[in-house]
Chain A
Amino acid sequence: MQSQKLSRRHFLQRTALFTTGALLASCTGVPGQSQEAAVDEGTSPPEEPIELVALYWSTRPEFIEDREILARRMTEKFPQVQASQNSVPSGQYGEKVLTMIAGGTPPDTLQLNFRWEPFFRGQNALLDVVPFADVDADFSFEDFYPLLVELGTHEGKLFNMPRGWNPFVIYYNRALFHEAGLDDLPTTWDNDTWTWDSFLEAAQLLSVDTDGDGRIDQYGMFFPYWYPFLLLNGGDVLTDDEQTSALDSSESLEALQFLADLRLKHHVSPSPAEIEGLGGPQDLFIAGRVAMFTAGAWGIGALTRVDGLDWEVGPLPRVAGKSPVGYTQYYGHGIPQGVQSTEWSWEYLKVISDEESNRTVAQTIGDVPAMKRIAESEAFAGLPKPPTRQVFIDSASYIKVWPTIAPITEIMDGIIRPELDLAFLGEQTVEDAVATTGPKVDMLLAEYWESR
C-alpha cells in the first residue's frame, strides 16, 4: 500500500516535470519557425527552390480535385517550385486568412469573391495585380468577361482576378412540368412568356397533395435566396449611392411580399421546417418534392450525377413591363500583402486564372468560366447536359450582383435576415420587417462612411 502511494507520487512528479518540459519546448518551437519564414520574406529570387500555397474555401471533393490539378500544373511548369493547395471549411475562411496574414505567413494566393474581396480590400490586405499584368507579355485582361474584371477592380486597382461565375437560373423538373400540362421554359432572357405571373401560375399547378392527406407533398418552387427577386423587380437593399437603406422602396416591398405570399398565401413553397426535415434545395428537387428551385451554376454538378432525373434550366422570371434581370455570384483569386515572393505569387495566380484552368473549372466544379471564349466553347456551353446551358451564358447581358460595400455581411446577416425570416414565417408583416431594419441599416452605414 505504502509503496503504491510513493510510486504514484513519483509518477505525478515526473509527469509534471515532463509536461512542463514539453510545454516549454513547444513554446520555444514557434518563434523558430516564424524566423525561418521571415528570412524568406521578399528575398527569394525565382531561381531558388520555393514552396507555394494557394488558399481556398470549401472542402468538397470536386473542389479539392480542381485545386490539386492547378497545384500540379504549377509544379510541373516550374521545376524549382513545389506548389500546393490548402482548402479550409467555408465557415472558417475569414478567420484562417486573417490569422495567416497577421501571423506573418500569408498564403501565396487566396480565393476571393463578392464577399471577401471588399472585406480584405477594406483592410488593405490585397495587392493590386495590374502592375504585374502590365509588364507581363503572356497576360491579357481581354480574355475575361469585362464585367468580371470590372467587379474585381476598385479605383483602378484590380484585386480579384476572375476565375468563375455562377449566374442564377431556374432549375426545373421537366417530367413534373409535363405532368401538370406545362410547356418547357423559354431559353432566352428577353422573352414575353416567363413572367412573375406565369411563374406563380406554374408553381400553383405544380403544388400537389399527392396522397390526399391534406398536406402538400410536392411544391411548385423553393427560393433559398430572396435577394435576386428584389433585383428582378428593380428593388435593392441599399440606395445606389450606398448611403441609406432602400428596402422600403415600393419595388423592394413588392418583391418581398411576392416571396412571402409564395409560402404563406399560395402555399407553393415549403416552410423552413419542411425543408429542414427533407434536406437542402437540391435534395428536395432530386426527390421530386419541389418542381423548381433557384441556384447558381453549381446545381449542374450535383444534378448531372443523378440518373433518370429529367431536368432543365430556364431564365429567372421577369416582371412584366420591366427589363429582364440576371443575378450572379462570382469569384477569383488575389495576392495578399506580405507574401514571400510577389513574382511567384503572380506566376501561381496566372496558372489559376489561365485558359486551361478555365476549362478545368467547368469540368470539375461546373461553374461558368470567367473567360468568355472558354465559356462559349465546347468546354462549357458545348457540354451535353443540360442542353440549355446557353441560358447561363446569356444572362451576362442582364447581370446584377451582391452589393460590394464592406459592411454588407453585417447588414444582411445581422440586421435584415432575422427580420425577413420572421416575415417569411408569417410572424410579422413584410412592412414591419422592413420598417425595423431601415433605421438600423442607416445607422450602420452612417457609422461606416464616417469612419472612412
Chain B
Amino acid sequence: MRTRQAVGKAIEDAGIGKRRRMSSIARKEALAGYLAISPWLLGFLIFQLVPILAAFYVSLTEWRILTTPEFIGLRNYDKLLFEDDLFWQSIKVTVVYVIFRVPFSAMLSLALAMLMNQQLAGRRLFRTIYYLPAVIPLVAVSMMWIWIFNPDYGVLNSGLRLFGIDGPQWIFSSRWALPALIIMSLWQVGAGMVIFLAGLQGIPTHLYEAALIDGATAWQKFLRITLPMLSPVILFALVMNVIGSFQVFTQAYIMTRGGPGNATLFLVLYIYRNAFEWFHMGYASALAWLLFLVVLVISLALLRSSGRWVHYEGRIGGV
C-alpha cells in the first residue's frame, strides 16, 4: 500500500500526473473536435464507408436488385479482366484521358496563375473570368461544347476555316472525340489556377530578392525558387487531378454517350451502364472496386515519389 502511494507520488513528481491533468483539457478539446467533425464523420461512415464495403461484397455476387444476390466468388473479376473487351477499352480511354489531361491542365493552370500573380491592371477581373468556367455546372458546359464542336455550325471549325483549315468531325468521329473531350477539360483550368495562385502568394519575397542580388535570370528564379516552393501545391493538384480525371463521366454521358463506337467509353460511364442501364450490380461493383484500386495505387505512387521532388519548407533533407 505504502509502496504504491510512493510510486504514485514519484509519478506525480516526475510530471506525469501533470500531463494527465493537461490531458483532460486535451480530451475536452479532442471531444469538441470530434463533435465538430461529426457531421462529416457520420456522413462518411454511414453514407460512404458502409456502401463501399457493401459494394465489395456485392462485387462477389450476381445481383440484379430484385433477385437475391447469388455468391459467385471472383467470377466478376475474372470476367472483366479476361473476357470483357469493353472493360479494357474503357481503361484505355480513361488512361489516355488522364495522361493528356493531367499534365496539360497542370501546366496551363500554373501558367495562368503566374500571369495572374503579376501586377496587371484589372487582374481581379481576369481572375474571376478564368475561374468562372469552374463554377458553371458541367451539364451546361457540356451542352455549350456540343455546339462549339459541331463540325458544320460550330465556332471551332468556323474559326479554323478562317485559316483555310478544314476542321475534323470532333465528337462525331471516333478518332477526334477523345481529344475533343481533353481539349474541353482544359477550359476548366481556373480551379487549378486558384490553388496555384494561393501557393504562389505564399512564397516569401525575400527569396526572390536574394536571387535578384545574386543576378539570377527569370528562368532560374522559376526553376530554383518558384517550382520547389510550389511543389507541395503541385503534388496536391496532381493527386486531385488524377482522381478527378479517372472519375470523368458527365461530358461523355451527355455529349457522346460513350461513342462514336466506344471511343469515349470512360470507365465510370461503363460502370453506370452496367449498374443502371443493364442492372448488373455485381459486375458494376467489381468495376467500381477496380477503379478504386487503380486510383489508390496511382495516388500512393505519387505520394511515395513526392519525397524526391516535393520540398517542404522547414524540413531538412529531401527524403
Interface residues of A (CB under 8 A from B): 12-13, 16-17, 19-20, 23, 27, 94-95, 98, 101-102, 119-120, 122-125, 215, 271-274, 276-277, 407, 409-410, 413-414, 418-419, 421-422, 425, 427, 440, 443, 451
Contacts and interface: CB of A to CB of B under 8 A. Distances in A.
A258 to B, nearest CB: 20
A20 B37 CA distance: 9
B173 A13 contact: no
Contacts, number: 93
A406 B86 CA distance: 20
Contacts of B262: 418
Interface of A is mostly: helix
B218 interface: no
A273 B172 contact: yes
Contacts of B150: 273, 276-277
B64 interface: yes
29 contacts: A13-B32, A13-B35, A13-B36, A16-B35, A16-B39, A17-B35, A20-B38, A27-B46, A98-B66, A98-B279, A101-B66, A124-B67, A271-B172, A273-B152, A273-B172, A276-B150, A276-B172, A277-B150, A277-B152, A277-B154, A407-B278, A413-B277, A414-B86, A418-B258, A418-B260, A418-B262, A425-B169, A425-B260, A427-B261
Contacts of A13: 32, 35-36
A274 B152 CA distance: 7
A407 B280 CA distance: 11
A421 B35 contact: no
A16 B40 CA distance: 10
Contacts of A425: 169, 172-174, 260
A427 B66 contact: no
Contacts of A95: 276
Interface string B70-93: 000000000000010110000000
A276 B276 CA distance: 25
B259 A125 contact: no
A422 B277 contact: no
B36 A16 contact: yes
A283 to B, nearest CB: 14
B282 interface: no
A17 B36 CA distance: 8
Given A20-B42, A123-B65, A421 B36 contact: no
B235 to A, nearest CB: 29
A272 B278 CA distance: 25
Contacts of B279: 94, 98, 119
B153 interface: yes
A124 B35 contact: no
Nearest to B278: A410
Contact of A277 (B35, B67, B153, B174): B153
Contact of B169 (A17, A125, A273, A277): A273
A410 B278 CA distance: 6
B251 to A, nearest CB: 15
A43 B278 CA distance: 34
B39 A94 contact: no
Contacts of B260: 272, 418, 421-422, 425, 427
A20 B172 contact: no
A409 B66 CA distance: 18
A98 B174 contact: no
B273 A20 contact: no
A228 B300 CA distance: 52
A102 B65 contact: yes
Contacts of A120: 66
B42 A409 contact: no
Q: Which 4 pairs of residues, A with B, have the shortest CB-CB distance?
A: A19-B39, A123-B66, A273-B172, A277-B153
Interface in B142-201: 146-147, 150-154, 169, 172-174
B38 to A, nearest CB: 5
